[in-house]
Amino acid sequence: MNEHIPAPSLKRLPIYYRRLKDAVKEKITYVSSDELGQSAGVPAAQVRKDLSYLEEKGRPGVGYNAESLAKHLEGFLGLTEDKKAALIGVGNLGKALVLYPGFARYGLSIVALFDNDPAKTGHTVAGLEILPVKALMNAVPQMDINIGLITAPAQAAQEIANAMVESGIKAIWNFAPTRLEVPDDVFVKNEDLASELAVLSHYVKRDR
Partner DNA sequence: TAGATTGTTAATCGATTAACAATC
- Interface contacts to a copy of itself, rule CB under 8 A: 5, 7, 10-15, 18, 38-41, 76-79, 81, 83, 92-93, 95-97, 99-103, 105-108, 146-147, 154, 170-171, 173, 177-179, 187, 189, 191-205, 207
Q: How far apart are CA 207 and CA 157, in angstroms?
A: 36
Residues 37-56 that bind DNA (CB under 7 A): 42-46, 48-49, 51-52
Amino acid at 79: L
Separation CA 118–CA 138 (nearest Å): 19
**44 contact, one of a copy of itself, DNA, none, CB 5-8 Å limit per kind:** DNA
Q: By C-beta, is 16 or 175 nearer to DNA?
A: 16
Beta bridge partners of residue 208, listed in sequence order: none
Backbone φ and ψ for 76, nearest 5 degrees, come out as -60, -45
| Amino acid (one-letter) located at 59 | R
Q: 88: helix, coil or strand? A: strand
Question: Shortest Cβ distance from residue 61 to a copy of itself (Å)?
Answer: 26
**Residue 102 site contact among a copy of itself, DNA, none (CB < 5 to 8 Å, cut-off depends on kind):** a copy of itself
CB of 187 closer than 8 Å to CB of 169? no
Applying CB under 7 A, among 27, 61, 92, 203 the residue interacting with DNA is 61
Q: Restricting to residues 74-113, name those near DNA by CB under 7 A.
A: none
